[in-house]
Amino acid sequence: MVERDLAGRDIGDRAVLEAFRHVPRELFAPGAGPEEAYGDHPLPAGFGQTVSQPYIIAFMMQALSLSSGDRVLEIGTGSGYQTILIARVADFVYGVERLAPLARMARERLKNLGVENFRVRVGDGAGGWPENAPYDAVIVSAACPAVPAPLLEQLAPGGRLVAPVGGRWEQELVFYRKTGRRLERKFLVGCRFVPLIGPAGWGEEEKTT
């Protein structure tokens, strides 16, 4: 998967590629066999959520130019797959996940794999995690109509953010960099994420029966 879907496309960041080589994706997608787990597509994570597509995770990590000293805020931890990849290339990951059972499973998976440089809390990620701010990088893994202001506020000088911004079903990946008091913004690529739920995203989830 790494050679075919990441290096074979435009992922050249060696630390990112190396992280993917070390993380067994099947452990994050309950019920997916090895064939499925290494296809470049999202997988069910349970509770109506998805384990992100490997290429888009790699693309976001590369866009953030993560390095070993970085403290990273992750919104929408989900399965923890992206969390562990970031933990391998950065100094520390602070994850916020709205659904308690997913947060608990993510924590267990990372601990079982011997990863300790992370914390995951349950809550609405639109407020960020102010107690540990500022962050060198912020990665948003759920679609929002606009980047929630607290996330931009919690960026360190020189800090970078990526987020899927747009409609509920289709978005564009937006990149921000904070330089002094200015915010530089650019659009990277079209994408499709599950919605950010809450006042800054979309209202309550529809109940699936």
> Site residues for ligand SAH, window 33-72 (CB under 6 A)?
45, 49-52
Residue 99 in contact with ligand SAH, rule: CB under 6 A: yes
Residue 26, SS3 per DSSP: helix
Q: Interaction with ligand SAH in 125-154: which residues (CB under 6 A)? A: 125-126, 141-142
Angle between helices 100-112 and 81-89 (to 10 degrees): 50
Structure tokens at 81: 């797959």
Binding of ligand SAH by 78 (CB under 6 A): yes
Asked if residues 169 and 94 have their Cβ atoms less than 8 Å apart, the reply is no
Per-residue burial over 105-130, b = 16 or more CB atoms within 10 Å of its CB, e = otherwise: bbbebbeeeebeebebebebbbbbbe
Taking the complex as a whole, how short is the minimal distance between the CB of residue 19 and ligand SAH, in angstroms?
13
- To the nearest whole angstrom, how small is the minimum distance from the Cβ of residue 181 to ligand SAH? 28
Is position 52 annotated as part of the catalytic site? Answer: yes
Catalytic residues: 52
Which residues are at the interface with ligand SAH (CB under 6 A)? 45, 49-52, 75-76, 78-79, 81-82, 96-99, 102, 124-126, 141-142, 194, 196-198, 201
